[in-house]
Amino acid sequence: MQIVEYGPPISLADAKRAIEAAEAEASANQWAMVIAVVDSTGHLVALHKMDHAQFGSIAVAQAKAQTAVNFKRPSKVFEDAVAEGGLGLRLLATEGLCPLEGGIPLLRDGKLIGAIGASGAQSTQDGQVAVAGARIING
């Protein structure tokens, strides 16, 4: 497994581009979402709440993005581990980990520059929206 290094923080301009792409995907499917982008240190760069998105999704979108940057992998990895049960349930005791699909690392030149998180629908739909936003940065 290749070690992913942390890189310089994502710029506001790139965060906005990722959010715009994610919002376009959510809008095309008529999903009211909250989309968050954090930088390579896990700090919030941009937050976008679409009209009629539920308030609870504000914190969840940020948590998904922070999970992806803190653990250098999509948050779905943890959702899958918890769903399998057994030893995967230990993850529920991990501070700062959101085991729900919808958090995707953002990479530039192989280095992690931030992450995007989406919340507001089913976790698979949140993941679809986050992937659409990440695609703009990750290629």
| Residue 16 belongs to domain with CATH number | 3.30.450.150
10 Å CB burial of residue 91 (0-12, 13-18, 19+) is: middle
Residue 121 lies in a domain: yes
How many structural domains compose the chain? 1
Percent of the chain at pLDDT exceeding 70? 99
Residue 57 lies in a domain: yes
Residue 73 lies in a domain: yes
Label residue 55 by pLDDT band (50, 70, 90): very high
Compute the distance between CA of residue 14 and CA of residue 109 in angstroms, rounded to an integer. Answer: 14
Label residue 62 by pLDDT band (50, 70, 90): very high
Q: What is the pTM (predicted TM-score) of this model? A: 0.96
Residue 34 lies in a domain: yes
**Domain limits at 36?**
12-138
Residue 25 lies in a domain: yes
- Is it the case that residue 33 has pLDDT exceeding 80? yes
Query: Which position has the token pair 């991990």?
Result: 94
* Paired tokens of 129: 């929206």
Compute the distance between CA of residue 32 and CA of residue 23 in angstroms, rounded to an integer. Answer: 9
